[in-house]
Amino acid sequence: MRVGVLTGGGDCPGLNAVIRGIVRKGVQEYGYDFTGFKDGWRGPLEGATVRLDIPAVRGILPRGGTILGSSRTNPLKAENGIRRVKENLAKQEVDALIVIGGEDTLGVAARLNDEYGVPCVGVPKTIDNDLSGTDYTFGFDTAVGIATEAIDRLHTTAESHMRVLVVEVMGRHAGWIALHSGLAGGANVILIPEQPFDLEQVCSWVTSRFKASYAPIVVVAEGALPKDGDAVLKDGTLDSFGHVRLSGVGEWLAKEIEKRTGKEARTTVLGHVQRGGTPSAFDRWLATRFGLHAIDAVRDGDFGKMVALRGTDIVRVPIAEATARLKTVDPALYSEVSVFFG
């Protein structure tokens, strides 16, 4: 039995822990051989491989990133993509593929498995925690921890200068990082993509915080938008939204708050530090167990499934189902947390 492994999409703390779990159990308990595919789906598409055995996974547990490399290559969009993937898997004599990735990467796995007969097992990965079917994805706890530590630090700066500090955290479509780090960091306002915000309400929270002689911290997910988003977009400051982040929602918000409340406001965009470096203990635990259970699914021939966390158990759910829709923040949960606003 030869198993291929690939990691796709943005890097995420815990990827190496998954790979190590897969290989250690696969080799030691099942006697499998492994082929590492380089840079996500680019590997099977172009036949780019790396050696993957016990020595290759030594010492990688605490290391961020992925020893396999990653990319956003999508074989479904490449010419003859499916055919080339199948040919390369055959050439490598790979019997099954473990695919570690987020919505896009796993979406390819679901179709390859369900429509093209390539036996795939999925492992959910995203620091954004927005994959359905699993309580948490690994990487998320690390990202929340880093953001919380940053917010802890920013409180004293805000207080010393009686300024508003706006902290922009990751989360394009889901507010999980903002919600968790904002709550844990004692933020006074938390803004998430799921709930378009009312700028007047934000300013009133900011003002009430100052009235109590404290300085407010506003945590905003990069994908959060004001209720009248159109107007905002028109003034051109949001057009570079996304990766480049030259004038993201954080900067825009700080300027609006200054204008409307007369208080100084500063922005910190946490950026890539949220996704790099050593995983938290929780993420190492979760990622390792995902790896151990993914190779079990291969052994069981239980393909088309993704390993997932339910409570403290690792279960298997159909990949297609897990990637069908984003897991966003429930309004009730946002409302629960809002008791701390203002």
Q: Between residues 130 and 141, which has the closer beta carbon with respect to a copy of itself?
A: 141
Q: How far is CA 326 from CA 111, 128, 303, in A?
A: 17, 10, 22
Q: Between residues 25 and 305, which has the closer beta carbon with respect to a copy of itself?
A: 25
Give the pairing type, strands 49-51 and 33-37. antiparallel
Q: How many CA atoms lie within 13 A of 154 on its CB side?
A: 29
Closest distance of CB 223 from a copy of itself, Å = 18
Closest distance of CB 328 from a copy of itself, Å = 13
Judge whether 185 is annotated as a binding position. Answer: no
Q: What is the 3-state secondary structure (H, E, C) of 164-216?
A: EEEEEECCCCCCHHHHHHHHHCCCCEEECCCCCECHHHHHHHHHHHHHCCCCC
Judge whether 172 is annotated as a binding position. Answer: yes
For a copy of itself, the binding residues in 25-54 under the rule CB under 8 A are 25, 28-29
> Using CB under 8 A as the criterion, what x/- string covers residues 70-109 for binding a copy of itself?
xx--------------------------------------
Is the four-CA dihedral 242, 325, 43, 143 of positive or negative sign? Answer: positive
Judge whether 274 is annotated as a binding position. Answer: yes
Structural tokens at position 193: 């993509």
Structural tokens at position 161: 């200068």
In the residue annotation, 128 being an active-site residue is answered as: yes
Size of the site for a copy of itself (CB under 8 A): 78
Stretch that binds a copy of itself, among 45-53, 202-210, 260-268, 299-307 (CB under 8 A): 260-268
Instruction: Determine the Cα–Cα distance for residues 103 and 172; give it in Å rounded to an integer.
Output: 13
Closest distance of CB 303 from a copy of itself, Å = 21
For a copy of itself, the binding residues in 110-169 under the rule CB under 8 A are 135-136, 141, 144-150, 152-157, 159-162, 165
- DSSP for 216-247? -EEEEETT--BTTHHHHHHTTTTTTTTTT-TT
Residues 6+ apart with CB under 8 A from 115: none
For a copy of itself, the binding residues in 228-257 under the rule CB under 8 A are 243-244, 246-247, 251
**Beta-strand runs (E) in the chain:** 2-7, 33-37, 49-51, 96-101, 120-124, 164-169, 189-191, 217-221, 265-269, 305-310, 313-318
Q: Between residues 80 and 338, which has the closer beta carbon with respect to a copy of itself?
A: 338
Does residue 61 interact with a copy of itself by CB under 8 A? yes
Does residue 336 interact with a copy of itself by CB under 8 A? yes
Q: DSSP character for 41?
A: T
Q: 39, 128, 141, 296: which is the annotated catalytic residue?
A: 128
Judge whether 275 is annotated as a binding position. Answer: yes
Closest distance of CB 286 from a copy of itself, Å = 10
Does residue 211 interact with a copy of itself by CB under 8 A? no
**End-to-end Cα spacing for the chain:** 59
Q: Output phi, psi for 314, to 5 deg.
A: -100, 125
Q: Output phi, psi for 316, to 5 deg.
A: -120, 135
Judge whether 33 is annotated as a binding position. Answer: no
Q: Between residues 113 and 288, which has the closer beta carbon with respect to a copy of itself?
A: 288
Cβ(119)–Cβ(96) under 8 Å? yes
Closest distance of CB 86 from a copy of itself, Å = 26
How many CB atoms are closer than 10 A to CB 186?
A: 13
For a copy of itself, the binding residues in 3-22 under the rule CB under 8 A are 10-11, 13, 15
Judge whether 272 is annotated as a binding position. Answer: yes
Does residue 316 interact with a copy of itself by CB under 8 A? no
Residues in binding site for diphosphate: 10
Active-site amino acid positions: 128
Residues in binding site: 10, 103, 126-128, 163, 170-172, 222, 266, 272-275
